[in-house]
Amino acid sequence: MEIKEAISKAKNKEQIAFNFLLDSFWNDVYGFQLKRTQNENDAEDITIQTFSKAFDKIDTYNESFKFKTWLITISKNIHIDLVRKQKKTINNTSKDDNDNYFEIIDDSPTPEDKIITEQNLAKLLRDIKKLKPHYQEVINLRYFQELSYKEISNELHEPINNVKVKLLRAKKLLAAIITKA
């Protein structure tokens, strides 16, 4: 399958085309983010978000640009947004002209926050149980046991790209379940 053909099929929501595009461009986007973030987990997460967003917005892709360039641009923008969010957690304020200090926001949870978090976790676990068992397993391995893609691949005896696609699908299905509720 060629890239243009895959893009056309992806616009028609053919899953095999999404898999082909993911396999074809995963290393490019991941490598780009690895250089930017210097962190494998962040690079993987941003790469997954990139493909998720790209596949959701595949109809907006302009074929006068290279697909790889479009993906890299999406990836770069996601990274910029994450950096901006991180910078908001520390506010630079000045007391006097000579006395500069950083005011660090207290993110420690209140007792009410802890109860809400426990309730949200219980609801999330109920929503995860609505997924098919193989999707439940991959979400459990990645987010609760915090295994890397390679470790999950070894655990499931599946190629790493299958794990990535399965996790991407599981996250999309879970998001759909959560937004329905």
**What sign for the dihedral angle of Cα 130, 131, 137, 142?**
negative
The domains found in the chain, sorted by start residue, are 3-87 (1.10.1740.10), 108-180 (1.10.10.10)
pTM: predicted TM-score of the whole model, two decimal places: 0.53
**What is the Cα–Cα distance from 98 to 178, expressed in whole angstroms?**
50
pLDDT at 89 over 80: no
Distance in angstroms (rounded) separating the CA atoms of residues 54 and 60: 9
Neighbours of 62 (CB within 10 A): 6
CA dist 96 and 107 (Å) reads 26
Summarize the confidence of residues 108-123 as an average pLDDT: 80
Rg of the chain over all Cα atoms, to the nearest angstrom? 20
Secondary structure E strands in the chain: 90-94, 100-104
Query: Is the torsion defined by CA of 12, 13, 14, 19 positive or negative?
Result: positive
Residue 94: pLDDT band (50, 70, 90) is very low
How far apart CA 8 and CA 102 sit, in angstroms, is 51
Say what percent of the chain tops pLDDT 90. Answer: 41
Q: What is the pLDDT of residues 127-167, one digit of tens each?
A: 889 999 988 999 999 988 889 999 999 999 988 888 888 88
Residue 99 reports pLDDT greater than 80: no
Residues whose CB falls within 8 Å of the CB of residue 181, separated by 6 or more in sequence, listed in order: 123, 127
**Any idea which of 17-21, 110-114, 158-162 has the lowest mean pLDDT?**
110-114
